[in-house]
């Protein structure tokens, strides 16, 4: 039992746990819509596209969060603007912005000889360095994400399943899409210093995708994703403490492992149900006494 509780008796691990749980809640709210909308590529591009703003903020001695917000705003506005082009697919626009922002970040990093070491923390996170101020910031981010998800629930649902019908119902799908991009940007910015810009994708996508085969209602998917994300945070911190591995990477890997287990289990259940249904069909209709009719 001590093996299970000992790591969380340390103050900085406790803060890391609370930070990871708050990030899991934010990512569950945003990630559910990302999975339902098929926007995983944009989520990946957004997480990588934060690098220029983070690099500039670090070199200037400013706030990394502010730098990340600027990059996220550029990515969001750029994707929303390119989406209006009739001759350019959304994936193409996202890909071009993704490469451009990543290249710009590398160029900025290459101008500094002392930035390479710090870059590791930005790319892979430093969850064990979470401060009380960070927890307050994550709490605010969670409140904003929850408010956006509640107020935008109806347009988001319509947008996720039929954009043309959303327009017919007067739900302004373009505005809903822009707000959804903003929600995704908020989740990425809130999470990058916990698991890093390269690994935030794991907490954003893996938990909702793991719940999706088992749940039908969107609120159920969000709740399940939040629980899985919090569990991944707990197990990841526990394993990283005892195995001496990177905490952020271990948390992300645990979330991905949950997804793989869910996919395998749902496939096994589907095959079992298929075989059961086949046997029932093959046996034919029966009378109330159990004999073939």
Cα 194-195-200 angle, rounded to 5 deg: 115
pLDDT, position 79: 75
Residue 218, pLDDT score = 92
- Cα separation, 238 vs 166, in Å, equals 45
The whole-number pLDDT of residue 285 equals 58
The answer to whether 46 and 185 are in contact (CB under 8 A) is yes
Question: Would you give the DSSP letter of residue 171?
Answer: -
The pTM is what?
0.82
pLDDT of residue 190: 82
Distance CA 266, CA 262 (A): 6
Per-residue confidence (pLDDT) for residue 116, from 0 to 100: 53
- The answer to whether 255 touches 228, Cβ cutoff 8 Å, is yes
Cα separation, 194 vs 23, in Å, equals 8
Crossing angle of helices 132-151 and 153-161, in 10° steps, is 70
Q: pLDDT value at position 225?
A: 95
Cα Rg for the chain, rounded, in angstroms? Answer: 22
Rounded to whole angstroms, how far apart are CA atoms 155 and 177? 9
Task: Render each residue's pLDDT in the chain as its tens digit; 293 residues.
Answer: 778 888 888 899 999 999 999 999 999 999 999 888 887 777 777 777 888 888 888 777 777 778 888 888 888 788 777 766 666 676 777 788 878 888 888 787 777 665 554 566 666 777 888 888 888 989 999 999 999 999 988 888 888 777 777 677 777 777 888 888 888 888 888 887 777 766 777 888 999 999 999 988 899 999 999 999 999 999 999 999 999 988 888 898 999 999 999 999 998 888 888 878 767 666 655 554 455 54
109-113-119 Cα angle (round to 5): 45
Which one, of 50, 33, 41, 5, lies nearest residue 195 by Cα? 50
Element (H, E) at 289: none
């Amino acid at each position: 039992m001590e093996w299970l509780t000992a790591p969380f008796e340390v103050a900085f691990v406790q803060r890391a746990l609370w930070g990871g749980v708050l990030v899991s809640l934010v990512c569950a709210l945003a990630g559910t819509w990302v999975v339902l909308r098929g926007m995983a590529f944009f989520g990946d591009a957004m997480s990588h596209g934060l690098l220029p703003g983070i690099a500039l903020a670090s070199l200037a001695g400013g706030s990394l969060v502010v730098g990340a917000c600027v990059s996220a705003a550029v990515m969001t506005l750029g994707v929303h603007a390119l989406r209006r082009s009739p001759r350019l697919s959304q994936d193409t626009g996202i890909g071009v912005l993704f490469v451009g922002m990543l290249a710009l970040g590398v160029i900025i990093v290459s101008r500094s000889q002392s930035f390479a070491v710090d870059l590791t923390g930005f790319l892979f996170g430093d969850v064990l360095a979470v401060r009380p101020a960070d927890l307050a910031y994550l709490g605010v981010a969670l409140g904003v994400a929850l408010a956006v998800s509640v107020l935008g629930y109806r347009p988001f649902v319509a947008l996720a399943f039929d954009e043309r019908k959303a327009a017919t119902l007067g739900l302004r799908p373009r505005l809903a899409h822009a707000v959804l991009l903003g929600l995704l940007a908020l989740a990425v910015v809130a999470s990058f210093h916990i698991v890093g810009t390269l690994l935030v994708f794991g907490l954003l996508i893996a938990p909702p995708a793991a719940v999706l085969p088992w749940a039908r209602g969107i609120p159920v998917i969000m709740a399940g994703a939040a629980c899985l994300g919090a569990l991944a945070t707990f197990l990841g911190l526990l394993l990283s403490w005892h195995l001496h591995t990177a905490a952020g990477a271990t948390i992300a890997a645990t979330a991905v492992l949950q997804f793989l287990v869910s996919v395998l289990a749902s496939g096994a259940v589907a095959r079992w149900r298929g075989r059961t249904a086949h046997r029932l069909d093959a046996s034919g209709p029966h009378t109330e006494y159990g004999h073939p009719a």
